[in-house]
Each structure stands twice: as C-alpha cells, then as structure tokens.
Structure 1
C-alpha cells in the first residue's frame, strides 16, 4: 500500500483479544505489521456480511421462485453483455 493512500487508526481492544490475535497471526507466520492487514480484511468482511444480511432481510417476503427468476434474469443479462452470441469480427 502506498503511504499516501492509507489512514492511521487508533483502536482499543481488550488485552485478551490482543493476545489472541497476536498468537493467531504468529501461528500463521505473520508479524506485528500484519495486524493492520488483518483488521482491514476483517472490516471488509464484516461490511460485506452486513450488506448480505440487509439484502436477505429486504427479500425475506419475496417468494423463492420469484426471487430465483429475478436472479436468473439478471445473470442472463450480464452473460449476454459479457459474452455476446454473435461472432466478433477478426
């Protein structure tokens, strides 16, 4: 990561969490500097999970077959855009 594209955070965690994370990273062959990468990855995964749960909640009342039809239609549209059936000129 380039230095100008990063932001410094100050975070506070329990001593137990700190020791557990350092032990985990050490067992994986990682070093102290890898804590930042681990936290960034964890934050991204947590935000992704929150988005998935929100979408599931919004779609909870939609019948499964209707939802699957919408997913199939969206996938077909993307496939048609990415891989047109007409041959490309050479």
Structure 2
C-alpha cells in the first residue's frame, strides 16, 4: 500500500455515501408523484435548461 491510498479510499467512500444519500432523499421527495407527472416535470426542466444554454451562447 502506498502513502495516501487509505486517504483516497476514504474520500471515495464518502463521495459514494453522499451520492447514495442524495439519491435516497430525491426518491423520497418524488415518491408521491405519478410517472406521467414526473416525466412532464423532467421534460420541462430539460427544455428550460436547453433554452438557457442557447441564450447564454
């Protein structure tokens, strides 16, 4: 084992844990929304992101 390997391992583990918690929180917040409603929200968000990206360039 090289110096810093343990630190890198812990850093990666923390990143995965934070990602896992973020996903769990998002799933909990969207639990009451129907699939169609969620799809509409996502489509609207994609459209808004594309519009703001195009107007910024």
Question: TM-score, structure 2 length as denominator?
Answer: 0.81
Higher helix proportion, which one?
Answer: 2
Unaligned runs of 5+ in 2: none
Shift of 1:57: 1.1
Q: State the secondary structure of the residue aligned to 1:83.
A: helix
Q: Paired residue for 2:51?
A: 80
* Equivalent residue for 2:38, pick from 42, 52, 67: 67
* Equivalent residue for 1:57, pick from 22, 25, 28: 28
Question: TM-score, structure 1 length as denominator?
Answer: 0.55
Structure possessing the higher radius of gyration over alpha carbons: 1
Aligned residues: 56
Cα separation, 2, equivalents of 1:37 and 1:56: 29
Give the superposed CA RMSD: 1.6
Q: State the secondary structure of the residue aligned to 2:43.
A: helix
